A and B are shown apart, each in its own frame.
Chain A
Amino acid sequence: MSPLDAYVAAIVGAFATYFWRAFGVAVGGRLDPQGRAFEWFACVAFAVLAALVLRLILFPSGGLATLPAGVRLGAAALAAGVYFALRKNVLAGCLTGAGAVALAAWAA
């Protein structure tokens, strides 16, 4: 593995990423925002996002996998609780959840 190879991989990754963005613009110009096809596409976008979040919380790779799933779920639930209790405060929710994970990892 040379450093050059890593750059090739990064450039391939960049093309694979921009492809979808350009595709989204190309399709977007043709769909009626009030139409059913558009609403379906929006539902898929939100579903993929939720699936990604669940995967990162429930099936993480790396260091997070060393914590019990219950800790990760509990921290996420705590974050959501604080978020709603403080009138949808994203920062407070994130800090609470991340703090809970740090405490659990420290105590383990």
Chain B
Amino acid sequence: MTWYGRADPAKIGRMIENDESSARKGLIAGARAGAGAPALVLGASYVGFGGFVRDNGLGLDLALFSTLTAWALPGQLAMVELYLAGAPLLAIALAVALANMRLAPMTTVMLPVVALEGRPAWRHYFAANWVAITCWALTMLHSPARPREERLAWFMGCALVLWIASLIGCALGYLAAGAFPPPVSLALVFLNPLYFMLLCLQDLANRPRALALLFGAAFCAVLHPFIPDWSLLIAGVAGGTAAFLIGKRRPA
């Protein structure tokens, strides 16, 4: 039964009030978790994206538009690269979809962590637009320590801070492109994989998931030289499935 199952106005009023205060608490706590190292590193990654867009002769407006509407760096990079190569729209759609396919299982896995019974579904569909690797990893790691009513707000607070940091980084990178010496530009671009890697290493306690990291990386290393277009997808599905089967058989 949902919390509004019994119509008691005083009780409902108190519930709504509690709900609002927990939303505020969650939003602030999430924003705090996002500010600092995550915002710095993600902002720096988007400095790399802004510089990349400028290097390729496209406008700052496009770089910001892409970051506003499709906030997930791998897909954004794929979109710009293929557009510049003159690829047809269908090819762009497929490549971006492939680069961002991980967002589906990520969203599915995060939903039971942040969902609240009785909350309208559209709120979950709305919030899903900000599911991206950094915010997802932080939410999976830290939000379970919060009361359930605070968690979606926690996620949104974290996402908003990181989104704003991305937009600022993107603009800075565009405006400063060419101002950095090449070694610094390379270091900025390299921040992306480093950051994702360290996020992966934060929680290795779950055995099947730790195995999934290992197998996903190993399969990709073997497959990529032969089938660069599909290696990510195949390594993910095959590596994840293998880890699931092996991890289940021998519990830690």
Contacts and interface: CB of A to CB of B under 8 A. Distances in A.
Interface in B163-205: 181-202
B97 interface: yes
Contacts, number: 307
A105 B190 CA distance: 12
Contacts of A106: 181, 183
A60 B81 CA distance: 13
A49 B200 contact: yes
Given A29-B111, A46-B213, A93-B198, A98 B66 contact: no
A16 B198 CA distance: 27
Interface residues of B, number: 102
A22 B129 CA distance: 8
Contact of B228 (A31, A59, A98): A59
Contact of B231 (A8, A51, A103): A51
A: interface residue count bin:
35 or more
A28 B109 CA distance: 7
Interface of A: 1, 3, 5-25, 27-29, 31, 33, 36, 38-64, 67, 72, 75-76, 79-80, 83-84, 88, 90-91, 93-94, 97-99, 101-103, 105-106
Given A14-B69, A23-B104, A80-B197, A49 B183 contact: no
A55 B244 CA distance: 22
A101 B214 CA distance: 24
Contact of A57 (B89, B96, B193): B193
B103 A15 contact: no
B198 A44 contact: no
